[in-house]
Chains A and B, each alone.
Chain A
Amino acid sequence: MISNLVAFFSNGESLMFFLLALGTITGVVLMNSLTKVIHMVVALALTFISLGGLFIMLQAEFVAMVQVLVYGGAITILMIFGIMMTKHDGEEPQEEKTTPQQYTLLGGSVALFGILFYAIQKAEFVPAAFNPGVDNTKEIGLQMYTMHVIPFEIISLLLTVAFIGAIVLAKKEEE
């Protein structure tokens, strides 16, 4: 047991994974336990940035940068703006006692995690060599503009429509 732990922590990759996973889970737990909404958003920013670190460990440097830019930057700031424009006090309304509904939710989530845990523990992974190429970004660009052109165009259309829709929804209505 102890020797297992020592072997785990003397390996650089495992140690880094442990630290980043700790950051991720800390952020999520804080999100579920803090009371002020702004604090929750900042806690989730920690989660998103730690996930970016995990992506770098998985040799996905480009996706890691996109993760930090889009999630750690844009979405966090967007949510903080949303809180500023809608909240009066910024306090998550707390109920005095936990309702039966919340116990059911907790039970359901834990049961789902149990099923996933069982499935993951049963799974066997054959180690296969992953070759990310010399330049991760270049590889992604080559694939995206050869094999995945049509999904790429559709995504760009979706983003345009979504942002026009967001502007139409949020703009001030005429009296």
Chain B
Amino acid sequence: MVSLANSYLLLAAILFCMGLYGALSKKSAIIVLLSIELMLNAANLNLIAFSKYGVAPSITGHIFSLFSIAVAAAEAAIGVAILIAMFRNRGTSDIVDMDSLKR
């Protein structure tokens, strides 16, 4: 019976890389936020996989991933609020137009 631990880690690696690519290549700010959520979720999958298959399996991994979910939710709320404020003031939600710090 082969253990599935490596498969879970590989799946998390795939998710993280796709999320990284999405976060850096997409033009719409909402999708960039969602890609960041995806990367956090890949890290959560790793935490939970290690809490079952790791060297010292324990339930602490679950608690850590709950904390990370809470932080991700706060980040998503703040991100959407910033986008709405940005859209009200500048009339755009494209990443390429967010360059006032460069000028």
Question: Hey, which bits of chain A sit against chain B, CB under 8 A?
Answer: 11, 13-14, 17, 21, 24-25, 28-29, 31-32, 37, 40-41, 44, 47-48, 51, 54-55, 58-60, 62-63, 66-67, 70-71, 74-75, 78-79, 81-83, 85-87, 92-93, 102, 105-106, 108-110, 112-113, 116-117, 120-121, 123, 125-133, 136, 139-140, 143-144, 147-148, 151, 155, 158-159, 162-163, 165-167, 169-170, 172-173
The answer to whether B81 touches A169, judged by C-beta atoms less than 8 angstroms apart, is yes
Main secondary structure of the interface of A (DSSP, over half): helix
The answer to whether A166 touches B80, judged by C-beta atoms less than 8 angstroms apart, is yes
The answer to whether B30 touches A41, judged by C-beta atoms less than 8 angstroms apart, is yes
Question: Hey, which bits of chain B sit against chain A, CB under 8 A?
Answer: 1, 3-11, 13-22, 24-31, 33-35, 37-38, 41, 44-45, 48-49, 51-60, 62-63, 65-67, 69-78, 80-85, 87-88, 93-94
* B62 contacts across to A, CB distance below 8 A: 60, 62-63, 136, 140
The answer to whether B63 touches A148, judged by C-beta atoms less than 8 angstroms apart, is yes
A-B contacts, 12 listed (Cβ < 8 Å): A21-B11, A37-B30, A55-B48, A58-B49, A71-B41, A75-B37, A81-B80, A85-B84, A113-B13, A120-B9, A125-B54, A130-B58
